[in-house]
Structure 1
């Protein structure tokens, strides 16, 4: 028994009306794609060849790498007290700061300016151009204080040793304005530029227009050589290199930063990173030197005021000694002088400290910027004050770095600004306290000096005057020596300054390019060559509204799919009669065998064929189904009931002069319109002339009477009915048939037509109706033969069961259609 065929005792097929589960048959899905294997193979070959050509002609990209060791900052003396006080400076990430500096725009801009990269040179290759760098054949000197065309390409062709021709290769230019370097506009008209009006120039000649100012010098170019030149402004280059540069720690615990950049020119990448690291260390050293320079400037300011006083007091001392013939103090005067000198030295040092506190206080109150002088430079040993000043200087330097990369509203900038404000507040409180303490110490020293000064009155006047002059000289001399000492210390500190960070490895390009990735590209090409056709096939099948897969048809209709009829390659309307050993004939024999299980009628059988629309092959199936019964020896008659568009007469080569419409519209007996098909046991009643009211004719009681009489005269009666999806009378004919068949055509019938059949069963109450798939020619996968006589193994010529009809030539098929 065949699949989907009801048992002999089941006369009501409503038991079959259950929703079929949607199942995915992977084997069928695989064979559905394998039928397109030539297309898939062709795309895979194209994908691999395309990937090979891409690998062959794309510009290789190299990765240039270097490394920098970032030293952790040593905490300043007293910083532990500062952090324990809760001032919020702990936890600052030194690594992240250094990454921000290395990727800053200002550092990239300074590096590019040092390397002079604003002119790019290219040389034409077979397919692509290659960039030249170092050992250039020509040099283009650009005046960047003048407006310039940037972004596009100039072509320079060497004419001879003295001249060259310049032209536009790529006119994607913008105008760079040195007064507004970050904004570039498009030039209005390129064709009117004097450069294009005069295209031949001499080497060394200044080429100048509204948007150009440069000259070309020949180094080693030969006549006939061609080069492409692009002018690129520093801001554009800096932004580009900044984006391309990658800076990251080698791991989470390490303080080593890995710098890398990918470039088609290895030497350019190496020189850029090396210069970048050089500028980076120079920036760090300059920051350290600024503190020493600020200290030296502060001391110089103090020395400028004390040097004149020292010279004046020295001259006065010499004159007094000469005029009064006195050179040394008495023993008592020397003791008083030593005590007084010691106190006055202490007073001068305290005054310098007081002046520093006052200067620092003014700095904090005015909220001004600038470099801070460390207290330890001028002899102040307060650890907390030194820590606060150093911390504030670091935070301010950090804020400058952050602002060069982020806006004022960035979280990092705002957080650092909050730290600066907190540190300033704590420093101001500490400064005010130190300022008051210093004033008290200075007042105490001055009181002690006044007490000693009272002892001076006991000395003779000459000695007393000498003591005063020598005292003034000693004060100035001590201050001057003290300042010179501090200045020397600051200069030594500046000379000994070294960057705390260290270059571990200078830039070096890899031996092999990182792009194109040849193996990966070949794999991608192969995968794309596989995916593209499979995707196309999948989308095509998804958007296809025609019935192609018998499995899908079986799942969509709510009646059994009883059989499939293969494509009639001979284009003969009667393959069963004219080629009884063909595969198509076998499919009708298989369908005839199924009738044993579909109907209890053994001697008399009435079969009805219909479809959704015209062209689905119901007439072809009707004729050949009647033919297969006639070959069996059954007395068979085929009745054409499609009164609107008759086709049976044309297939049999009979005149459609009389038929069923003649009987129904007149008193003509049905026996008189029966015509012989030309084959034994096979008669035909044609539809006859097309009437004006076909539906009304078929609904007459006379028609039912005629059919009943025909059934008594023939063993098998076959109805060729009009499409039920287009006309209404077919619905009334189902009651006259023992078995009804609904014909679908592969690749022609719409998927929505299955709903017409389902409605007939669910709403129309039609029973004993089955589905047939006609014109089966698209193989949707191995195993879909179902035993219906097509594709189950019978059709292969190698088995020797059937003879396939030779298809007609194309010109005969064309004439046959006409």
Structure 2
């Protein structure tokens, strides 16, 4: 016993599953099948989406040594471009995608409308269409295009709530308030069968640049290839070739974009150096002119060796002062840049003349934040909390840089002051030189200082020009765009989803039926559902209309044996004394209570018991039909006092079995059962008969059965497997408990033969009789032929 309890799955569990599947197999099969058919037609109508893919290497490293040296200070700046997250944003930015689409002719899409599916294309086979939208309301709407004959065509479209249609001629420009169009016939147009073209239905859709940019951005996906600086760019589109062309153009525009930034940066640096060179050149020209005039007017002697040494030192220090003054100018340019509007996206060129790593990296970081915020503004507004936080961070960095520039300016001015003191010492030492020679020394000193500055600027300019000539893309396409085939719709996935949804729905319906509408199909299930005694079960008859009194006409049938078992069970329910009166009723009409009443009466009469059947169903009487009797007189005529009960008594034709039918249906049947004559009838009948059976109306419809129950020893409730549910059993239990009905039992009718053989331990006779009959009441229902 304990071993059986330890089993995870018991035999009862398997029976439950078998029953569940047996009752709902058609739901579990047909609903998913229906959903599969819906999925097939649904996916067939969906537009097919194709994918294309390309791969871009962010930093190839293909640069010359002198280029990397010149741009060594740009490492922090270029790190922005090497940053993968930023590059993803750049590739999907509105500006870049817009530039790509401006180079491509993607604004017009053509469609061939079929009976079930609409197929997109880049052109119409029979004609060339040149169309321009003049009314923005027509953007994104499909214009129906139909060829009428070899000379004309028709355009129709919706404008607001109005449907518009126009007929135009081929090879002629047509202008309306909504569009300008010219449709040219292609070569071979006349040779084709015009009837085929007339039957075809085409559509034209024109999109504006904003709609196209949004569409392509939403379908663009970028992934970083793991452990590399390679970006895999994919695009989904209804047209396979269009997706490939877009990706190739996107890669080209992106590479030009990175070069453009480098060239622009280089040009700004050259421009700044040219301004400085021009300024120094003017100074040199004026000094040389001054020297020529002075030497012509004065006789100059050569300087002594010691004086020459003082002169060279003085030139060196003044050159340093000039260089520091140039740095002050650069700081002023940077300060002006920081104080101007944040619309500037490139670093000022003067930064590359300063040898200050901290300033360089700080400006690079500021640029990176500005660039990132500008890219984010394509997707969000300035009121976004993230943008507000970025603005606060940029303002803080700008303030820190301005403070650093002020400190740097102060330090440089201090350095200039120190060098100026040294210059003053050397100037004092050369005062011993005669006045005319001393003036020439001053002029020559200025010339030397500016010549060194000029040489320095020329070197910077030459290096920058060389770097510009050597600029190559820092990004490269390592895999051109290629088609990856059909990516949507995923028909297999959709089919599985629909089938799964259908299965879930089928299971849901099946469980609802199991919980709320499960029918009890055998006595075992009935015993599990209630504590009310089960007196027995009646098997279903395959030929319900062939005979009604089965026990009498087919005494060796399974049904007759079932009623014999019921007779035995009735006798054992009251071992102290025999049951003399029994009430037979049911919850619903059509459950077979009259059939059971007649056959129970017959089986007891064949056992030598004298039996009387009373048809107290004064609403819809059926007993007289079962026994094929006249119903002109009966209980109704007795209860109203017209005749005595013995005058209503009729013989059934079966030995020991008498019947009192209901008689004519009275206008007040429920009041008649409350008559004292019922008590008198029962008292006298019990004296003359061994068993009195009362057939009553269904409990759920009429309360007569509860009134008559007090006159009987036993209550028999007939339940039919077609209507028996656990809710019905619970309701019956409540009735019995509320009314404290003793000696109540249930008889389960209409058990299917297969289940009957199983639950009766395969005990059967196999005589092939057709037993039972249709005993539906008709209380608002049709008569049932099959119990």
TM superposition score category, shorter chain reference? 0.7 to 0.9
The question of whether the paired residues in 2 share the 8 Å contact of 1:164 and 1:203 is answered with no
Cα offset for 1:392?
2.6
- Give the conservation status (yes or no) of the 8 Å contact 2:549–2:772: no
Aligned with residue 225 of structure 2, among 250, 274, 277: 250
CA contact (8 A) 1:374 1:390 kept: no
Residue aligning to 2:105:
116
Match of 1:97 in 2: 86
Give the whole-Å Cα distance in 2 for the aligned partners of 1:72 and 1:120: 38
Q: 2:468 aligns with which of 494, 509, 513?
A: 494
Q: Deviations over 1:775-802 (max 9, x none)?
A: 456x9xx7577746xxx7578xxx7333
Is the Cα–Cα contact under 8 Å of residues 69 and 255 in structure 1 kept in the other structure? yes
**Inter-partner Cα distance in structure 2 for 1:418 and 1:250:** 34
Alpha-carbon distance change, 60 to 721 in structure 1, aligned in 2, over 3 angstroms: closer
Please list the CA deviations of residues 11-31 of structure 1 after superposition, one character each: whole Å capped at 9, or x if unmatched.
xxxxxxxxxxxx985534434
The CA distance in 1 between the partners of 2:447 and 2:186, in whole Å, is: 69
Q: 1:374-429: per-residue Cα shift (whole Å, max 9, x none)?
A: 66622x32332333233333333333233333444556545544543443344333
3-state SS of 2:747 partner: strand
User: Is 2:210 aligned against 1:210?
Assistant: no
> Larger deviation: 553-562 or 387-396?
553-562
Residue of 323, 326, 330 corresponding to 1:349: 323
> Distance in 1 between the 2:154 and 2:420 partners?
83
Query: How far off its partner does 1:612 sit?
Result: 3.5
Residue 272 of structure 1: which of 241, 246, 255 is its match? 246
Question: What SS class does the counterpart of residue 678 from structure 1 fall into?
Answer: coil
Task: State the shift of 1:559 in Å.
Answer: 0.9
- Distance (whole Å) between structure 1 residues aligned to residue 319 and residue 428 of structure 2: 19
User: What is the CA distance between 1:58 and its match in structure 2?
Assistant: 5.6
Rounded Cα–Cα distance in structure 2 between residues aligned with 1:191 and 1:92: 51
SS at match of 2:563: helix
Secondary structure of 2:486's counterpart equals coil
What whole-Å deviation, never above 9, does each CA across 1:444-492 have from its counterpart, x for those lacking one? 4444555555677766676566556555555555444433332333333
2:53 aligned with 1:65: yes
**Structure 2 CA distance for aligned equivalents of residues 79 and 156 of structure 1:** 57
- Whether the aligned pair in 1 keeps the contact of 2:638 and 2:645 (CA below 8 Å) is yes
By how many angstroms is 1:435 displaced?
0.8
Contact 2:544 2:772 in 1 (8 A): yes
Deviation at 1:771, TM superposition (A): 1.3
| Corresponding residue of 2:168 | 200
CA distance in 2, matches of 1:603, 1:457: 156
- Structure 1 window deviating more from structure 2 (454-463 vs 259-268): it is 454-463
Structure 1 gaps of 5+ residues are 1-22, 83-89, 172-186
Q: Is the 8 A contact 1:565 1:776 kept in 2?
A: yes
State how far apart, in whole Å, the 2-side matches of 1:669 and 1:393 are: 116
Indicate conservation of the 8 Å contact 1:546/1:749, yes or no.
yes
Measure how far apart 1:677 and its partner are: 1.3
Deviation of the 1:278 alpha carbon: 2.6
Q: Assess if the C-alpha contact under 8 Å between 1:140 and 1:216 holds in 2.
A: yes
Q: What is the aligned partner in structure 2 of residue 106 from structure 1? A: 95
Secondary structure of 1:608's partner?
strand
In 2, Cα distance between the equivalents of 1:660 and 1:46?
56
Which whole-Å CA distance do the structure 2 matches of 1:105 and 1:630 have between them?
A: 98
1:614 deviation in Å?
4.5
Among 685, 710, 715, the alignment partner of 1:740 is: 715
Q: Judge conservation of contact 1:146–1:213 (CA < 8 Å) in 2.
A: no
Q: 1:363 aligns with which of 333, 337, 358?
A: 337
Matched, 1:592 2:567: yes
Query: Is 1:287 aligned with 2:253?
Result: no
Asked if the contact 2:580–2:692 (Cα under 8 Å) also holds between the matched residues in 1, the reply is: yes
2:656 to 671, 678, 681: 681
1:385 paired to 2:359 = yes
Partner of 2:189: 222
CA separation of 1:521 and 1:666: change in aligned 2, threshold 3 A: closer
Which deviates more, 214-223 or 96-105?
A: 214-223
The alpha-carbon distance between structure 1 residues 444 and 134, as it changes in their structure 2 partners (threshold 3 A), is farther
Q: Is the 8 A contact 1:147 1:213 kept in 2?
A: no
Structure 2 distance, partners of 1:135, 1:648, is 82
Secondary structure of the corresponding residue to residue 679 of structure 1:
coil
User: What secondary structure is seen at the aligned counterpart in 2 of 1:763?
Assistant: helix
Give how far 1:684 is off. Answer: 0.9
For 1:92 and 1:614, how far apart are their aligned partners in 2? 84
Provide closer, same or farther for how the CA distance between residues 249 and 816 of structure 1 changes in structure 2, counting only shifts above 3 A.
Answer: closer
Q: CA deviation at 1:432?
A: 1.8
**Matches for 1:687-706 after TM superposition, within 5 Å:** 687-689=662-664, 703-706=678-681
Partner of 2:533: 560
Counterpart-to-counterpart distance in 2, 1:467 and 1:164: 94
- 1:653 is matched with which residue? 628
User: In the superposition, relative to structure 1, how do residues 671 and 51 fare at CA in structure 2: closer, same or farther (>3 Å)?
Assistant: closer
Give the secondary-structure state (helix, strand or coil) at the position aligned to 2:653.
strand
Answer yes or no: is the 8 Å Cα contact 2:550–2:772 preserved in 1.
no
Please show how residues 658-673 of structure 1 align to structure 2 within 5 Å: 658-666=633-641, 670-673=645-648
Tell me if the contact between 1:375 and 1:381 (Cα under 8 Å) persists in the aligned partners.
no
1:629 and 2:617 aligned: no
Counterpart residue number, 2:5 = none
Give, in angstroms, the shift of residue 770 of structure 1.
0.6
Cα distance change, pair 625–157 in 1 and its aligned pair in 2 (3 A): same
Deviation at 1:260, TM superposition (A): 2.0
**Other structure's SS at 2:138 match:** strand
Contact 1:152 1:231 in 2 (8 A): yes
Identify the residue that residue 129 of structure 1 maps to in structure 2.
118
Structure 2 CA distance, aligned partners of 1:449 and 1:112?
Answer: 64
Aligned equivalent of 2:8: none
Cα RMSD for the two superposed structures: 4.6
Measure, in 1, the Cα distance between the counterparts of 2:374 and 2:678. 104
1:125-164 superposed matches below 5 A:
127-133=116-122, 140-141=129-130, 143=132, 147=136, 149-157=138-146
Separation in 2 of the partners of 1:350 and 1:695?
A: 122
Partners of 2:539 and 2:37 lie apart in 1 by 40
Tell whether the 8 Å contact from 1:119 to 1:140 is kept in structure 2 after alignment.
no
Please list every run of 5 or more consecutive structure 2 residues that lacks an aligned counterpart in the other structure. Answer: 1-10, 62-67, 775-780
> How many residue pairs align between the two structures?
748
Q: Say if 2:729 is the partner of 1:770.
A: no
